[in-house]
Amino acid sequence: MTSGTQKIAVVTGAGSGIGRSVALTLAAAGWAVAAAGRRTEPLQETARAAAAAGAAGEVLPVRADVSDPDDVNALFAAVQERYGRLDLLFNNAGTFGPAGVPLEDIAYEAWRSVVDVNLTGAFLCAQAAFRRMKAQDPQGGRIINNGSISAHVPRPNSIAYTATKHAMTGLTKSLSLDGRPYRIACGQIDIGNAATEMTARMQEGILQANGQLAAEPVMDAVDVARTVLHMAELPLEANVQFATVMATSMPYIGRG
């Protein structure tokens, strides 16, 4: 159990990239963070990085596959047992799927894998968080979903990822509506070209809508994490419903 003033967060996909950056930023601000992901060692690296930086809050590694209902239930049960409440879920785990594969060549298994992680996984975690936040005293909490620029406009050859990110917006809106009676706020952060392992190819050259390859600018993932922290620390009477954080010069406005 924690003190009555410490905030408790679950961050999925916390072993690398944006998830790791958000977990470290929250911990530095004093949050206790359950860092969830499919691989234990990267989660432990996140925890070690927080400790080495002298973070005011702890990072608790919890191995969990968000597409597995049993893993998700075990994750939130572990948070309840250790901390006794939940204040924030950052629904971040995601996969792009096969890169550069034309729509007509995408295997069913590849489509299903992206949907299972990006959409079903987000739903399962949101459902588990919603149940905890509704039942706890004081009631309430916040869910922040990682959308994407692709929640608005697609890239070429990205149908599975784009479809799930458009669906994330519907998930966010439904959570916002259904959470109102219980002081559960839900917002979405749409991120464009944060510098992570997942976006490394954008700096080398990526297919554009006109058929050409072009390198795209990226931004520091820490700037995304600072935005998530701002959203997370608002009082529950206030909510950032949708935020777009992107590399300033990336080809988003005017894409296509």
> pTM of this prediction?
0.92
The mean per-residue pLDDT over the stretch 88-94 comes to 97
Given the residues 83, 108, 161, 252, the one annotated as active site: 161
CA distance 256 to 244: 18
CATH 3.40.50.720 applies to domain 8-246: yes
Half-sphere exposure of residue 128: CA atoms within 13 angstroms, side-chain side:
25
Read off the amino acid at residue 64: A
Q: Which tens digits make up the pLDDT trace of 48-61?
A: 999 999 999 999 99
Q: Which tens digits make up the pLDDT trace of 171-210?
A: 999 999 999 999 999 999 999 888 777 666 776 777 777 7
Those residues with Cβ within 8 angstroms of residue 231's Cβ, 6 or more apart along the chain or in another chain: 142, 144, 187, 189, 239, 240, 243
Domain parsing of the chain, residue ranges: 8-246
pLDDT bin (cut points 50, 70, 90) of residue 213 is: confident
CA distance 158 to 167: 14
Active site residue 252: no
CA distances from 21 to 11, 16, 53 (A): 10, 8, 13
Looking at residue 256, its pLDDT comes to 47
Instruction: Please say if the pLDDT value at position 217 is more than 60.
Output: yes
Instruction: Please say if the pLDDT value at position 72 is more than 70.
Output: yes
